[in-house]
Amino acid sequence: MKTKRLLPLALLIFILAAQDACQDSRSLPADEIALGKQLFFDPILSSTRQISCSSCHRPENAFADTTAVSLGVFKRKGKRNTPSVMNLGDAAFLFWDGRVETMQQQALIPIANRDEMALPVDSAVGRLRANAFYQSAFVRIYKQQPSSLLLARALAAFELSLETGDTPFDDWKTNDDSSAVSESVKRGFSLFNGKANCVRCHFGRDFANTEFRNIGLFNGKNLSDSGRAAITRRSADLGKFKIGPLRNVALTAPYMHNGMFKTLREVIDYYDNPDKFIPDAINRDTLLARPIGLTNQDKQDLENFLRSLTSQRLALGGSQSNQK
Amino acid sequence: MKLTIRLLVLLVASFACRKNSGETNPSITGEWDLHSTYNGKPWLFTARFKPDGVIDGIGNGKLVISMKYKVSGDTIYFSGDPSCVQNSVGIYKLHFFQDSVRFDIIDDTCSVRIANTDKFRLGRVASDSRAGESR
């Protein structure tokens, strides 16, 4: 009699366990990039279980956000504009103030930040260990239980896979196809390297730099973010911020560390004559000491050049380029 | 007569050997590359010297640098390097070998360019290898 009663229960447990096992085996990530991707999009890493890394680093916007500052848990406002996490393979520093030097160091900070995901890293690791799927996934890939080190490794591996080199500009320069871009783009590239002097700060594979510069967005009043100086504790670094990559920049508006410029044209107008926008800047770089004197055509050409740095897959709506 | 022919063959052969082992004087125009490692990973640098005086340097499939050059005899003049002071010109002697070229400094004040150029040797990319590349 007892056996008859227990049999359906045992059967049910067996079916549920088998379903769970089958489901896990179907979707377990194949490598650490795939695991990092799963974690990047999973709200399990926020205290409220409502936001993930991808809530602010939106794939359709080249893994940046569309607002000046992003909203974290409980709609808490962040303090700086969300930068893209694409094309950071050559980056020497991460975050606007360059507070860390590796993607692995970077990966855990937003999880613990109270304005972002607000979950202590130990708690995040505890959640992953208590989750059958992630436990299996970490053991499969790393042969170890989830840990803060492995969580950082997986997230960093995914972020580092987000490279784009499939732009019209790449077709022109790398693939030597002069018909890939318009004459306006070509003029814009010449301006970028010449009269506009953008190349002094934005150069290399991703039009970035390992330096920090003060472009004049600090006046100690309404623009009061001291930037790099808070990390180095050097007054010479007041108002300096990391020079970010320009690839996919057309998709990452608004711009600058505080998201104060809504369009690329506003950015170009600013660089053309910073004093017109912020006459009382402190410690502004000498490269921006005088107006450039760009014509309307120059500005349009520069904008078209910047737009030519957009990944064609992203432009077509395929957000996760080069992901496995 | 036989001796003359033998001597002629020897002369031609020795001339051909000398040409192949020593420096030659071809044009810099075209593609040159260097396979190396950077941060422990494979790094392919390709320099494309265009007929219009522009060099595009491409590292692992992305443009790294675009600047200008001018050749005069065995000397090359580089300008427009963003790492250098504006209007700074670097002058280097070109040494052409059978399938490669080396740059030796003559005069340059830009330390970054010197570090990236002096004694730098690039291999000629065969024209048919480019034809087979996929875009």
> Which one of A193, A202, A211, A322 makes the best mutation probe of the B interface by having the most chain B beta carbons within 10 Å?
A193
* Fold type of domain B28-127: Lipocalin (2.40.128)
- Tell me how far CA of residue A57 lies from CA of A53, A70, A207, B27, B51, in angstroms: 6, 9, 20, 48, 43
Subunit contact A174:B59, Cβ cutoff 8 A? no
**CA–CA distance, B71 with A85 (Å, rounded to integer):** 41
Q: For the segment B29-69, what is each residue's pLDDT rounded down to a tens digit?
A: 999 999 999 888 899 999 999 999 999 999 999 999 999 99
**CA–CA distance, B30 with B101 (Å, rounded to integer):** 12
Nearest CA in chain A to B39: A90
**A20: which 2 tokens?**
């769970």
> For position A317, what pLDDT does the model report?
79
A309, A248 Cβ separation under 8 angstroms:
yes
Q: For the segment A97-109, what is each residue's pLDDT rounded down to a tens digit?
A: 999 999 999 999 9
Q: For the segment A261-313, what is each residue's pLDDT rounded down to a tens digit?
A: 999 999 999 999 999 999 999 999 999 999 999 999 999 999 999 999 999 99
Q: For the segment A130-167, what is each residue's pLDDT rounded down to a tens digit?
A: 999 999 999 999 999 999 999 999 999 999 999 999 99
How high is the mean pLDDT of chain B? 83
State which amino acid sits at residue A32: E
Judged against a pLDDT cut of 90, whether residue B17 lies above it is answered with: no
Mean pLDDT of A234-247: 96
Query: CB contact, 8 Å: A204 with chain B?
Result: yes
**A70: which 2 tokens?**
């992003």
Q: What residues does B123 pair with on adjacent strands? A: B33, B100
Judged against a pLDDT cut of 80, whether residue A324 lies above it is answered with: no
Subunit contact A175:B135, Cβ cutoff 8 A? yes
Strands B90-96 and B62-72: unpaired
Between residues 76 and 105 of chain B, which touch chain A (CB distance below 8 Å)? Answer: 80, 82-83
A57 is annotated as contributing to ligand binding: yes
B84, B110 Cβ separation under 8 angstroms:
yes
Query: CB contact, 8 Å: A49 with chain B?
Result: no
How close A300 comes to chain B (CA, Å)?
21
Domains with residue ranges and CATH for chain A: 20-160 (1.10.760.10), 168-315 (1.10.760.10)
> For position B55, what pLDDT does the model report?
96
> For position B87, what pLDDT does the model report?
81
Q: Which residues of A touch B135 (CB under 8 A)?
A: 171, 175, 177
Q: Is A154 exposed, middle or buried (0-12, 13-18, 19+ CB in 10 A)?
A: buried
Question: Between helices A103-112 and A121-130, what is the axis angle to 10°?
Answer: 90
**A264: which 2 tokens?**
């690329």
Judged against a pLDDT cut of 70, whether residue A24 lies above it is answered with: no
Q: Where are the domains of chain B?
A: 28-127
Query: CB contact, 8 Å: B53 with chain A?
Result: no
Of residues A13 and A317, more confidence is placed in: A317
Query: CB contact, 8 Å: A189 with chain B?
Result: yes
Query: CB contact, 8 Å: B30 with chain A?
Result: no
Which DSSP state fits B44?
E
A288, A215 Cβ separation under 8 angstroms:
yes
DSSP three-state, residue B91: strand
Question: Which range (A80-84, A249-253, B4-8) has the least confidence?
Answer: B4-8
Q: For the segment B89-108, what is each residue's pLDDT rounded down to a tens digit?
A: 999 999 999 999 999 999 99
Judged against a pLDDT cut of 90, whether residue A85 lies above it is answered with: yes
Strands B54-59 and B41-49: antiparallel
ipTM of model: 0.81
> For position B15, what pLDDT does the model report?
43
**CA–CA distance, A257 with A101 (Å, rounded to integer):** 18
How close B46 comes to chain A (CA, Å)?
9
Query: pTM, whole model, 2 decimals?
Result: 0.85
